Chain A
């Protein structure tokens, strides 16, 4: 009680000044002594993350119940369509199987067989998203205990979703491709031109991402695939980012800029896959 009384005696103006100084001190400390600040983050996260997971479970449960009711009709229709597609796909598969046999034979002849290693993945739940509309970061419930590491690639469905930026024992933070601070080196297929995929919240609201720095001589066409490139230092090569929707020549007459439709739907992310293999790099890790 005594403490409370004393507090009331401080005029708000001075308290404001004091708290402002605290803010600035925190800001400076997190620049110059980031490791100590990370500890505060770790412990607060440890307290709060379990609650977030719990609340999210409740949300997911009600959500799934509501969705079930709505989706029965839709599912029936989809089922019909998928059956047709499956038949078509089976037919194609048999064709490809014979073709791949042929390819194998030819590769053996040329001894050209390249290694496309299977990547190890682990699945995780999204349990919390950034608390403002401006950033596209979220938390998943797998952390360093499950083999996730800082810089691990995160997939959703068949498409690349983003990158693990912070990793804690029980959970980790993921930044998605559409966040404004995200930039990826990518490659167009089939023209094989290098380019940069930039996150941009504003264009994503139109359902597209911006790809810049495409060489103007590259033969780009609508519908081309955009994959992560081999030269990227953080992303495994060959992960699907999206498909080209339109492209224009830049005013500098040297490069082109394209808009792509991302392969995964960033709006309803619930379960993601994390690639637990590290990208091979030339620089040795300390």
Chain B
């Protein structure tokens, strides 16, 4: 139960930060994808199921407030959370390279799907331009923020685990 509440709070905070602080005062129109970092972190640390559920609710918030239809972002975040769960067996607490590589892969996948479904299908075929102006900067920005944010999530996860152990021991 504690885990569910903590996760809900984290999703909420990430959404707020992404849509206000990082969104309004952005660097040249580029917003880092905090919710993708959250989804990735929990997929990596806790496995497929939790990554998937985290992604699902992150996507729900995005769809709810910013999209005209429900569903697309929900599905995208969910799939990414699920796939990141496969890396759970390679997860080590001290490792920073794995999350970095995974988040870069995630960002590319995430942005390419947005490009394909809402830009390429609208006959905006200049992939190179979109790639160098939006996809690449966002990926780098998110990767940099991952280094800091991931540490925080690892700490939260460790804390939750310890609490859980205490409970089962008692």
Q: Do A and B come from one complex?
A: yes
Chain A residues in the interface with B (C-beta under 8 A)? 1, 4, 10, 12, 15-16, 19-20, 22-24, 26-27, 29-31, 37, 40-41, 44-45, 48, 51-52, 55-56, 59, 63, 126-138, 180-181, 200-202, 204-205, 267, 270
Chain B residues touching A, range: 35 or more
A12-B85, A26-B74, A202-B129 known; A129+B48 contact, CB < 8 A: no
Does B21 contact A55, Cβ atoms closer than 8 Å? yes
Output the nearest chain B residue to A127 by Cβ-Cβ distance.
B20
Q: Give the residue of A22, A129, A132, A201 whose beta carbon is less than 8 angstroms from that of B24.
A: A129
Q: Give the residue of A22, A48, A205 whose beta carbon is less than 8 angstroms from that of B29.
A: A205
Does B16 contact A15, Cβ atoms closer than 8 Å? no
B102 within 8 A of A: no
Give 24 A-B contacts (CB < 8 Å), ordered by A residue: A4-B1, A12-B48, A16-B52, A16-B82, A20-B78, A23-B71, A26-B63, A26-B74, A29-B70, A45-B64, A52-B19, A56-B20, A128-B65, A129-B20, A130-B31, A131-B19, A131-B62, A133-B26, A134-B111, A134-B119, A138-B23, A201-B134, A202-B133, A267-B29
Contact with A along B32-73 (1 / 0, CB 8 A): 010100000000000111001100100001111110111110
Does B138 contact A55, Cβ atoms closer than 8 Å? no
Does A37 contact B78, Cβ atoms closer than 8 Å? no
Output the nearest chain B residue to A135 by Cβ-Cβ distance.
B66
Q: Which residues of A contact B78 (CB under 8 A)?
A: 16, 19-20, 23
Contact with A along B65-105 (1 / 0, CB 8 A): 11011111011001000100100000000000000000000
Output the nearest chain B residue to A136 by Cβ-Cβ distance.
B29
Q: Which residues of A contact B29 (CB under 8 A)?
A: 133, 136, 204-205, 267
Chain B residues in the interface with A (C-beta under 8 A)? 1, 12, 15-21, 23-26, 28-31, 33, 35, 47-49, 52-53, 56, 61-66, 68-72, 74-75, 78, 82, 85, 111, 114-115, 118-119, 122, 124, 126, 129-130, 133-134, 137-138
Q: Which residues of A contact B30 (CB under 8 A)?
A: 133
Q: Which residues of A contact B49 (CB under 8 A)?
A: 10, 12, 15
Output the nearest chain B residue to A59 by Cβ-Cβ distance.
B21
Interface contacts (Cβ under 8 Å), in number, total 148
Does B71 contact A26, Cβ atoms closer than 8 Å? yes
Q: Which residues of B contact A270 (CB under 8 A)?
A: 24
Taking the closest CB of chain B, its distance from the CB of A24, in whole angstroms, is 7
Q: Give the residue of A19, A30, A130, A138 whose beta carbon is less than 8 angstroms from that of B56.
A: A19
Does B23 contact A131, Cβ atoms closer than 8 Å? yes
Taking the closest CB of chain A, its distance from the CB of B149, in whole angstroms, is 15
Output the nearest chain A residue to B28 by Cβ-Cβ distance.
A267
Output the nearest chain A residue to B142 by Cβ-Cβ distance.
A133
Does A12 contact B31, Cβ atoms closer than 8 Å? no
**Chain A interface SS verdict (over half):** helix
A29 to B70 Cα, complex, angstroms = 8
Q: Which residues of B contact A48 (CB under 8 A)?
A: 15-16, 61, 65
Output the nearest chain A residue to B59 by Cβ-Cβ distance.
A23
Does B52 contact A63, Cβ atoms closer than 8 Å? no
Does A130 contact B71, Cβ atoms closer than 8 Å? no
Q: Which residues of B contact A19 (CB under 8 A)?
A: 52-53, 56, 78
Does A41 contact B24, Cβ atoms closer than 8 Å? no
Does B118 contact A55, Cβ atoms closer than 8 Å? no
Does A27 contact B15, Cβ atoms closer than 8 Å? no
Q: Which residues of B contact A51 (CB under 8 A)?
A: 12, 16
A201 to B64 Cα, complex, angstroms = 23
Q: Give the residue of B31, B52, B56, B122 whose beta carbon is less than 8 angstroms from that of A131.
A: B31
Output the nearest chain A residue to B134 by Cβ-Cβ distance.
A133
**Given A12-B49, A48-B61, A128-B24, 16 other A-B contacts at CB below 8 A?**
A26-B63, A26-B74, A40-B64, A44-B61, A55-B17, A55-B20, A59-B25, A128-B65, A129-B23, A130-B66, A131-B35, A131-B65, A180-B124, A181-B122, A205-B28, A205-B134
Does A37 contact B70, Cβ atoms closer than 8 Å? yes
Does B134 contact A134, Cβ atoms closer than 8 Å? yes
A12-B48, A12-B85, A132-B31 known; A180+B119 contact, CB < 8 A: yes
Does B114 contact A132, Cβ atoms closer than 8 Å? yes
A270 to B69 Cα, complex, angstroms = 27
